[in-house]
Amino acid sequence: MKNIDFQRIFLLIKRDLLSDKSRYIKFMIGGYLAFVAIMIINLFDDSRTITYINDPNIDISYALASTAGVVLLVYLFMVVVMASRTFSNFLTKGNRISYLTLPATNQEKYLSRLLQTIVIFPAALFVLVLLADLSQVLFFSIVSKSIGFIIPFVFGKLHWIYTDSESLLLTFIVVLFYISTVFTYVLGSAFFRKQPFIMTSLALWAISTVLSIVGSILFQILGTFINWDTMEHFFQNLAQYFDAFIPIAKVAGVVIPTLWSIFCIWLSYRLFRKASVIPKGRFGF
């Protein structure tokens, strides 16, 4: 059997979607209703929208942009939650036996679950956002007057990103850090068998807390050896070093999240590859 056969991966994805179709249908309906409610409530709650209904000359760009921001935050949050459920099919012994005995390699099984998390579910959510945007236009057309589509409006305002190389690079770095967050929760799904989203979030909070405490202690220790007059002079002249620091920060902003994402994929696959019908220990498969 070849290590990776894309036809088998497609069949694995199809099997997963069909075997749990009721949950996915409920998820799709719930996601659609949530996006519609967010759009309508946010637009109705904005005084600019109410004024616009009576006076079409009023600019409601702010109302559309703020609503799009809320929708984006909810969308990104839902993608992370789904990432934390990448290996939710390993929760029960029956599911483990059924999945581990499928005629496919570990690489194919892992990729099928990963593709559902990072490709299929985000794409499905985006379709739900588009449908919700259409629904809010129809809703306002019925109750008063159409205020326009939100998503095309936002994409029309993003042209400045593509014309400014600095803005494009910054956007790329932000996207990389978000992708690394998604892969962090994929790793959490492989490590925590129960409540992976909550446990991964708590683990990240604990790690950040410990690092901040350690950093504070180290700063206090170093403070006893630092000549503060020299440090004051350094900070006063920091601006002249700032331009030299920017390229380093840009490279770090690309390299760090990329390496972390690769590490999360590598470690989560190693944990997945060692999966057994009866898990050993509290963590992992």
Query: What would the pLDDT profile of 5-25 be if each residue is shown by its tens digit?
Result: 788 888 888 888 888 788 888
Q: Which of 81-90, 161-170, 204-213, 217-226 has the highest mean pLDDT?
A: 204-213
Expressed in percent and rounded to 5, the helix, strand and coil fractions of the chain are 80, 0, 20
Q: In the predicted model, is pLDDT for residue 54 greater than 90? A: no
Would you state the pLDDT for residue 261? Answer: 93
Between 50 and 250, the more confident residue is: 250
Q: Is 256 left (phi over 0), alpha (psi -120 to 50) or beta?
A: alpha
- pLDDT over 70 for what percent of the chain? 75
* pTM of the predicted structure, to 2 decimals: 0.81
Name the strand (E) or helix (H) holding 282: none
* Banded model confidence at residue 177, pLDDT cuts 50, 70, 90: very high
Beta strands in the chain (DSSP E): none
* Banded model confidence at residue 131, pLDDT cuts 50, 70, 90: very high
Question: Cα separations (Å) of 176 from 76, 94, 241, 260?
Answer: 13, 37, 26, 10
What are the boundaries of each domain within the chain? 1-157, 164-285
Least confident of 84-93, 171-180, 196-205: 84-93
Would you state the pLDDT for residue 238? Answer: 59
Question: Cα separations (Å) of 277 from 13, 90, 103, 107, 285?
Answer: 21, 9, 16, 18, 9
Would you state the pLDDT for residue 222? Answer: 64
Nearest-angstrom CA–CA distance, 177 and 83:
15
